[in-house]
Amino acid sequence: MLYKPFISACAIALTIAALLPYLRAVAQGRVLAHVFSWVIWGITTFSVFLAQLAEHGGIGAWPIGVSGSLTITVAVLAYRQRKALDIAPSDWCFFLAALSALPLWHWTDDAFTAVLILTAVDILGFAPSFRKAYRQPDSESPGFFALFLLRNILVILALEHYSWTTVLFPAAVAAACTAMIGLILRKRP
């Protein structure tokens, strides 16, 4: 199991490698992050990190914790760019649905139920970004989502305990990243 810390360190490095340039691009206005998606992702990612720790995910959970912290930073920057926001009524629906589901995880005593709810909420968070990428495919970076796809694969490999509670979130986010990459590449001229 000596390789798990190395894999976790690689996943953390990928998280930082993906998010720091993304943060820079958002700050410079080259990427228009959808604030609703990033708020949802920040809350859910950090909450899943705590659930993974409780379920003995160990060192494999740490990349999720780093990601949650940096994701909240993207959400703050996206909010500061609100002049660039294109919020559709459907975005409000997904945002409110996601936020209304968050208290449910708190009321459950079961870590898996919490992660299941948080994963569903996190995937709902992709909807505003999917809509934006469909309409403006150049406003998102497929390379960013490719790094997160790889990061989530490494997270799964680095987990110290495998269960639905520890694996579901990174597997679902990897699948959503794959879909986002496909959408962006398909819609670009």
Q: Residue 189 pLDDT > 80, yes or no? A: no
Location of structure tokens 């959400």:
75
Domain positions in the chain are 3-187
pLDDT tens, residue by residue, 11-38:
999 999 989 998 998 888 887 788 888 8
Mean pLDDT value across the chain: 86
CB of 122 within 8 A of CB of 172? yes
CB of 105 within 8 A of CB of 118? yes
pLDDT of residue 45: 86
Q: What pLDDT band is residue 78 in, cutting at 50, 70 and 90? A: confident
What's the average model confidence in pLDDT over 81-103? 71
CB-neighbour burial class of residue 89 (10 A; exposed 0-12, middle 13-18, buried 19+):
exposed
The one-letter code for the residue type at 39 is V
